[in-house]
Chain A
Amino acid sequence: MPKDSGIGASSKRREDVRFLTGKGKYTDDMNVEGQAHCYILRSDVAHGTLDSVDTSAAADMPGVRGILTGEDFVEVGGLPCGWQVTDRFGEPMQEPKHPVIAHGKVRHVGDPIAVVVADTLAEARDAAEAIDVSITELSAVVDMAAALADGATKVHDDLTNNLCYDWGFVEENKDAVDEAIKGAHHVTTLELVNNRLVANPMEPRVAIGDYDASTNDHTLYTTSQNPHVIRLLMGAFVLGIPEHKLRVVAPDVGGGFGSKIYHYAEEAIVTVASKQFGCPVKWTSSRSEAFMSDAQGRDHVTKIELAMDENGKFLALRTDTMANMGAYLSTFSTCVPTWLHGTLMAGNYTTPLIYCNVKAVFTNTVPVDAYRGAGRPEATFQLERVIDMAAREMGIDPIELRMRNFVQPDQFPYQTPVAVVYDTGNYQGTMAKLLEVVDRDGFAARKAASAANGKLRGFGVASYIEACGIAPSSLVGALGARAGLYESATVRVNATGSISVMTGSHSHGQGHETTFAQVVSDMLGIEENAVEIVHGDTAKIPFGMGTYGSRSLAVGGSAMVKATEKIIKKATKIAAHLMEAAEVDVEFKDGQFSVAGTDKSVAWGEVCLAAYVPHNYPLEEIEPGLEESAFYDPANFTYPAGAYACEVEVDPDTGKVEICSFAAADDFGNVINPMIVEGQVHGGLAQGLGQALLENTVYDENGQLLTGSFMDYAMPRADDLPSFEVDHSSLTPCTHNPLGVKGCGEAGAIGSPPALVNAVIDALADKGVVHIDMPLSPSRVWAAMNQAG
């Protein structure tokens, strides 16, 4: 029987009512009394020297309150990068300054040049047209290989070249990997591109700065996944505002997918502008601006080689990747192609020797950073593609080849050759579950039926593993992170027994207000509705690191559990006092404290009231009140894993791919709210399938962004996708967090691209097609079919 509340129940989301009635409070819905609007004039060339910015005519335009340019930010810090990668030779990465507003040079289309603050947005925009900008255009560096060539134009004049770092992992394995590949029975080699994506949460970014001169307090309302991180980065590293003078509020946020993790220039701009011009200042991104100012995702070019023995046993793996950083280092850009990518190259397999080389490259394009999955989709895609190709070359069934190389269920905890230790998993289990869901035996008949209709049918699978619940602070610190990655929670029991949980996690679609309440209500045996979840405001919540990397429940939820355990401990003491019993004899169950073997009991509400009205209370032993905080720093990452299958039909006349079915069998560990988990998988699948089939960010050779709107960037729409089959019943609970949860936010986006591409290649195998780079658009598929063989 499915439960109807608490852990494991598909509780309906409480946040839905406000969203369904138009009462959500997104940042753009807010208007601060007396606010002005700003418009940001952005570079329309990818690379050039900024010779002059003449704002004199614009300053006299109607409604204009003031104008900011790069000159106004020369004295403050650049936008910081949160992770210092050390290269193969032990040297730190090259790290250029990222000015808030371009100064001296513009380095990508969309680089801010000037900011006009005016009474209305229309006036600000009109005035921006009167700004006279003189730029001497320089040749743009767009292609990564060209950027690394000797004598290439430099994106940053003060750096040695366009190489941010040359990273090798595990460097000590390099020679052994080379040897193993040289002597192997068979080596499969694949060169591929992991296409650049734009996250495109449906809510564009917004920032409102509000400075109160009477108290010297700054408030920033912003569309962020992690308000405390923004407060720290902007306060400490850019503008020099101490934390207690800066409040950051991220109210309802309309999706993030990684792109709202980072500290962006606009946040600093509105904060400075509000103080300088004496009024609250609001900036709302248009979608066109989002395309050229939100950090983009992926963009790797990779060569992967897999060495096998005659039975298809994996012996060694070598990868060579160029990863595009764009023009500047966004907050977490540098760790994505390294520590979130190289450490996952073992996948679900026992490959003993792995070497992964990554060259991170500066180009005159929009900065690149984590996008749903971040590094792990890139690792999974190359691995699952090369395995499929290897299966074909070796004449082994692709599922059989995976099964032969899976980590066995009795090998956990499993130490991979790429540093991480998988705590639990059962890759055979999820594959078996997948095969229950999909009718593989019926495929031949379906293929014949498609053929009778003139269509080519294909079937593809992929396994994946990811590392979530980021992350043990000591570990990431040793790897170069400039932050700790714990999470925090405060559980406040109110006098009559209702609960307010203040969490450092942030919900921007994940439904924390519902799931987090389910956990606490279950632990305390009280109604879900008696628990409210507070998030998104640094003035209300403890210092926390926010939501990304599928970490909210595994890390933030664990902090909340720890704090709730402290509450239960203290409440038990109070109950023991009220019942005049020894603490050890007191049991707590279903919201009731009782003394074993007696009929003595007190209800939750009575204990809470006693804590706040301590007339009869052990004041010499404990303090009044019932409020506890906990910070939780995980002992390890969590390792969700699974197996996905895709079936497609290709129209040989047009190259159009239709997804006939898609099935996912995931191991997320324990599940709090199955309905929400399944929704997360659906959304991840849509983004992964979007990458595989439709989405691509294209720059021309001058660095002009050709896909700068929804007219040119193909977002997946309802009729591009099928309904999905998802299952999460084959599970192995995480062993090192109290809920046994692993995280489900990114899985769909990680596992689905290789499953789809494998299916299309299967459909086209008879035509001699061995690989097509994503997105598998009709023109690319058609060209591949007609060029191959």
Chain B
Amino acid sequence: MAQVSMTVNGKAVSGEVEGRTLLVQFLRDQLRLTGTHVGCDTGQCGACVVHVDGEAVKACNMFAGEADGAEVTTIEGMANADGSLGTIQQAFQDHHGLQCGFCTPGMVMSAAALLKDNPNPSEAEIREYLEGNICRCTGYHNIVKAIQAASDAQ
């Protein structure tokens, strides 16, 4: 067991973890931030995407210990300060970019990272960027539309 400390959604947190504890397990099981999901065990689905020091990261592919000292943002930290939906979240609702909602936190986190690097992506660029996020419900059509709308709104 080792002690880890990090900032999650602006709050300092710490906990005891095993060497094998994944960041996603630390977030879900210890911090009870259950918005970050686990959809696979091979780093393929992207349901677990969070931001670590500003970069999109698959939280199932990183040990909690590796995030020691980092700034982590999860889906729970994406709403506006007044609790209303952030621009990307709102665009997902407006354009029906989610159905069951299970892939959605990862999609929103990936979309945010994309728009940070490329504020005006083309449809092809959006589709290529989302390679690492699987959605089984929406056929991606409305996710792409939502990200385009968020890009226009920003």
Interface centre among B78, B108, B136 (most CB of A within 10 A): B136
CA of A718 to CA of B127, assembled, Å: 5
**Contacts A21-B85, A718-B140, A719-B128 known; A710 to B99 CB distance under 8 Å?**
no
Query: Please, which residues of chain A bring their CB within 8 A of the CB of B61?
Result: none
Specify which of A16, A287, A511, A721 is in contact with B39 (CB 8 Å cutoff): A287
Question: Are B103 and A202 interface neighbours, CB within 8 A?
Answer: yes
Q: What are 19 A-B residue pairs whose CB atoms fall within 8 Å in the complex?
A: A16-B101, A19-B104, A21-B85, A21-B89, A22-B36, A23-B35, A24-B102, A122-B18, A255-B137, A286-B41, A287-B39, A675-B96, A678-B96, A682-B142, A683-B99, A685-B139, A718-B128, A721-B127, A723-B141
CA of A253 to CA of B136, assembled, Å: 13
Residue total for B at the interface (Cβ-Cβ under 8 A): 57
Question: Are B96 and A13 interface neighbours, CB within 8 A?
Answer: yes
Specify which of B42, B94, B126 is in contact with A287 (CB 8 Å cutoff): B42
Question: Are B101 and A24 interface neighbours, CB within 8 A?
Answer: yes
A 200-224 to B, binary, CB cutoff 8 A, 1 in contact else 0: 1111100000000000000000000
B104 smallest CB distance to A (angstroms): 5
Question: Are A717 and B134 interface neighbours, CB within 8 A?
Answer: yes
Query: Please, which residues of chain A bring their CB within 8 A of the CB of B137?
Result: 202, 255, 509, 679, 683
Specify the main secondary structure of chain B where it touches its partner. Answer: loop
**Contacts A22-B75, A257-B136, A718-B127 known; A682 to B141 CB distance under 8 Å?**
yes
The reply to whether the CB of B144 lies closer than 8 angstroms to some CB of chain A is yes
Question: Are B100 and A253 interface neighbours, CB within 8 A?
Answer: yes
B96 smallest CB distance to A (angstroms): 5
Question: Are B96 and A26 interface neighbours, CB within 8 A?
Answer: no
A23-B35, A721-B140 are known; give 16 further A-B pairs, CB within 8 A.
A19-B101, A19-B104, A22-B33, A26-B102, A28-B38, A29-B28, A202-B37, A202-B39, A203-B37, A254-B100, A288-B41, A682-B138, A683-B137, A719-B128, A721-B141, A723-B144
> Lowest 6 A-B CB distances belong to which pairs?
A22-B35, A19-B101, A254-B102, A686-B139, A509-B100, A682-B139
Question: Are B130 and A718 interface neighbours, CB within 8 A?
Answer: yes
CA of A622 to CA of B34, assembled, Å: 48
**Contacts A682-B138, A682-B139, A723-B144 known; A203 to B131 CB distance under 8 Å?**
no
A250 smallest CB distance to B (angstroms): 12
CA of A201 to CA of B138, assembled, Å: 12
Query: Please, which residues of chain A bring their CB within 8 A of the CB of B66?
Result: none
A 658-701 to B, binary, CB cutoff 8 A, 1 in contact else 0: 00000000000000000110111011111100000000000000
CA of A22 to CA of B102, assembled, Å: 9
Which residues in window 60-102 of B have CB below 8 A to A?
A: 74-76, 78-79, 85, 89, 92-94, 96, 98-102
Query: Please, which residues of chain B bring their CB within 8 A of the CB of A287?
Result: 39-42, 45
CA of A675 to CA of B35, assembled, Å: 25
A630 smallest CB distance to B (angstroms): 28
Specify which of A19, A255, A685 is in contact with B136 (CB 8 Å cutoff): A255
Query: Please, which residues of chain A bring their CB within 8 A of the CB of B104?
Result: 19-20
- A residues near B, CB below 8 A? 12-13, 15-24, 26, 28-29, 31, 122, 200-204, 252-255, 257, 286-288, 508-511, 675-676, 678-680, 682-687, 709-711, 715-719, 721, 723-724, 748
Question: Are A200 and B136 interface neighbours, CB within 8 A?
Answer: yes
Question: Are B18 and A201 interface neighbours, CB within 8 A?
Answer: no
Question: Are B38 and A12 interface neighbours, CB within 8 A?
Answer: no
**Contacts A682-B138, A723-B141 known; A21 to B40 CB distance under 8 Å?**
no
CA of A684 to CA of B139, assembled, Å: 7
Query: Please, which residues of chain A bring their CB within 8 A of the CB of B56?
Result: none
Number of residue pairs A-B, CB distance < 8 angstroms = 181
Question: Are B42 and A17 interface neighbours, CB within 8 A?
Answer: no
Question: Are A509 and B141 interface neighbours, CB within 8 A?
Answer: no
B52 smallest CB distance to A (angstroms): 16
Question: Are A687 and B136 interface neighbours, CB within 8 A?
Answer: yes
CA of A718 to CA of B139, assembled, Å: 8
A108 smallest CB distance to B (angstroms): 20
**Contacts A509-B99, A718-B130 known; A21 to B76 CB distance under 8 Å?**
yes
CA of A508 to CA of B100, assembled, Å: 5
Query: Please, which residues of chain B bring their CB within 8 A of the CB of A20?
Result: 75, 85, 89, 92-93, 98, 101, 104, 108
Which A residue's beta carbon lies closest to that of B125?
Answer: A719
Query: Please, which residues of chain B bring their CB within 8 A of the CB of A15?
Result: 101
CA of A731 to CA of B34, assembled, Å: 42
Question: Are B78 and A26 interface neighbours, CB within 8 A?
Answer: no
The reply to whether the CB of B116 lies closer than 8 angstroms to some CB of chain A is no
Query: Please, which residues of chain B bring their CB within 8 A of the CB of A715?
Result: 44, 134, 136
Which B residue's beta carbon lies closest to that of A29?
Answer: B34
Question: Are A22 and B40 interface neighbours, CB within 8 A?
Answer: no
Which A residue's beta carbon lies closest to that of B79?
Answer: A21
Query: Please, which residues of chain B bring their CB within 8 A of the CB of A683?
Result: 99, 136-139
Which B residue's beta carbon lies closest to that of A286?
Answer: B41
Question: Are A16 and B140 interface neighbours, CB within 8 A?
Answer: no
B 129-154 to A, binary, CB cutoff 8 A, 1 in contact else 0: 01101111111111111000000000
Query: Please, which residues of chain B bring their CB within 8 A of the CB of A203?
Result: 37, 39, 100, 102
Which B residue's beta carbon lies closest to that of A19?
Answer: B101
Query: Please, which residues of chain A bring their CB within 8 A of the CB of B144?
Result: 718, 723
B121 smallest CB distance to A (angstroms): 12
CA of A128 to CA of B75, assembled, Å: 34
Question: Are B45 and A202 interface neighbours, CB within 8 A?
Answer: yes
Question: Are A718 and B96 interface neighbours, CB within 8 A?
Answer: no
Question: Are B140 and A709 interface neighbours, CB within 8 A?
Answer: no
Interface centre among B34, B39, B96, B101 (most CB of A within 10 A): B101
Query: Please, which residues of chain A bring their CB within 8 A of the CB of B57?
Result: none
Interface centre among B39, B47, B74, B105 (most CB of A within 10 A): B39
Question: Are B103 and A22 interface neighbours, CB within 8 A?
Answer: no
A680 smallest CB distance to B (angstroms): 8
CA of A697 to CA of B47, assembled, Å: 23
CA of A710 to CA of B74, assembled, Å: 24
Query: Please, which residues of chain B bring their CB within 8 A of the CB of A24?
Result: 35, 101-102
**Contacts A202-B102, A252-B101, A718-B131 known; A21 to B75 CB distance under 8 Å?**
yes
CA of A510 to CA of B98, assembled, Å: 10
CA of A721 to CA of B37, assembled, Å: 24
Query: Please, which residues of chain B bring their CB within 8 A of the CB of A26?
Result: 34, 37, 102
CA of A15 to CA of B98, assembled, Å: 10
Question: Are B102 and A201 interface neighbours, CB within 8 A?
Answer: yes
A751 smallest CB distance to B (angstroms): 14
Which A residue's beta carbon lies closest to that of B106?
Answer: A202
Which B residue's beta carbon lies closest to that of A713?
Answer: B44
Question: Are A202 and B141 interface neighbours, CB within 8 A?
Answer: no
**Contacts A29-B34, A201-B136 known; A679 to B99 CB distance under 8 Å?**
yes
